[in-house]
Amino acid sequence: MLEIRNLHVAVDGNEILKGVDLKVGAGEVHSLMGPNGSGKSTLAQVLAGRETYEVTDGEVLFNGKDLLDLSPDERACEGVFMAFQYPVEIPGVTTNYFLRAALNAIRKYRGEDELDAFDFIEFVKEKARVVAIDNSLLQRAVNDGFSGGEKKRNEIFQMAVLEPKLAILDETDSGLDIDALKIVAEGVNKLRAPDRAIILITHYQRLLNYIVPDAVHVLVDGRIAKSGGKELALELETDGYTKIAGQRAAVETEKV
């Protein structure tokens, strides 16, 4: 479904991603881990189409299409969803209105009929149950005055409504207490599907106790230093990132 080949990305001339290769198949959950500043969030933003990042080399194929050639809204319509690390507030725009506009934009792109207000409300109530979200949230302005936990849950709720093919969850676990973490994780688990891929970006192994990934990748200094199964995350928990970083450095030296 997603294939990243030799991706190089720079911000203001500083290279952040230095050749990332990653393949994610339909139905799979991949966890992307790594220390601060290793480029995890950059990768998420680049996939979503943030303009501040400059792709200097490499390519990204999404279901055979050149993803980098599409505008952010086109990517969303193609089925790419990102749960933001810091969800933005939009005062005066209700969540209900916002999500209907989003869903209908996507439906229109796909040549499907747009949902009217009544159909939408039925549809969305069903989805709200999935992530145990109160319907009253729909009447509140997007993320306006939401607590940290509410914002993160709202992201997963939006994912449930928009039914993406590829969901990138950027540190959705950060800032959550253990109860909120469980709710978010349950929501994500319910949204696992054979035709949907999920990339979980996280610092900590904790989240992976609740969402068991098919693969774990460790990003160090702009490259994937190690890939493995779910046990790799446990290994990281005990050894930390420095060991892997060291191994990576050794590999680099050998190459030279």
Binding site for other proteins (CB under 8 A): 48-50, 71-73, 75-77, 81-82, 84, 87-93, 97-99, 101-103, 105-106, 109, 141, 158, 162
Q: 188, 198, 208: which is closest to 168 by C-alpha?
A: 198
Least distance (Å) from other proteins to the CB of residue 87?
7
DSSP reduced 3-state for 228 = strand
For other proteins, give the closer residue by CB, 35 or 72.
72
* CA atoms of 28 and 49, how far apart (whole Å): 22
For other proteins, give the closer residue by CB, 112 or 239.
112
Q: Which helix (H) or strand (E) holds 39?
A: none
For other proteins, give the closer residue by CB, 84 or 120.
84
For other proteins, give the closer residue by CB, 144 or 221.
144
Q: Which residues contact 17 (CB under 8 A, 6 or more apart)?
A: 7, 8, 9, 39, 42, 43, 46, 222, 223
Which DSSP string do the residues of 157-171 spell out, in sequence order?
A: HHHHHH--SEEEEES
- Helices 117-130 and 178-191: crossing angle in degrees, nearest 10, is 120
Contact 167, 137 (CB under 8 A): no
Least distance (Å) from other proteins to the CB of residue 49?
7
Least distance (Å) from other proteins to the CB of residue 37?
20
**CA distance to 50, 80, 102, 139, per residue, from 96 (Å):** 25, 21, 10, 6
Least distance (Å) from other proteins to the CB of residue 12?
15
Least distance (Å) from other proteins to the CB of residue 98?
7
- Phi and psi at 41, nearest 5°, equal -65, -35
Residue 22, both tokens: 């990653």
Least distance (Å) from other proteins to the CB of residue 43?
15
Least distance (Å) from other proteins to the CB of residue 92?
3
For other proteins, give the closer residue by CB, 198 or 218.
198
Q: What is the separation of C-alpha 167 from the centre of its chain, rounded to a whole number of angstroms?
A: 5
Residue 236, both tokens: 């990281």
For other proteins, give the closer residue by CB, 73 or 239.
73
For other proteins, give the closer residue by CB, 88 or 256.
88
* CA atoms of 62 and 78, how far apart (whole Å): 9
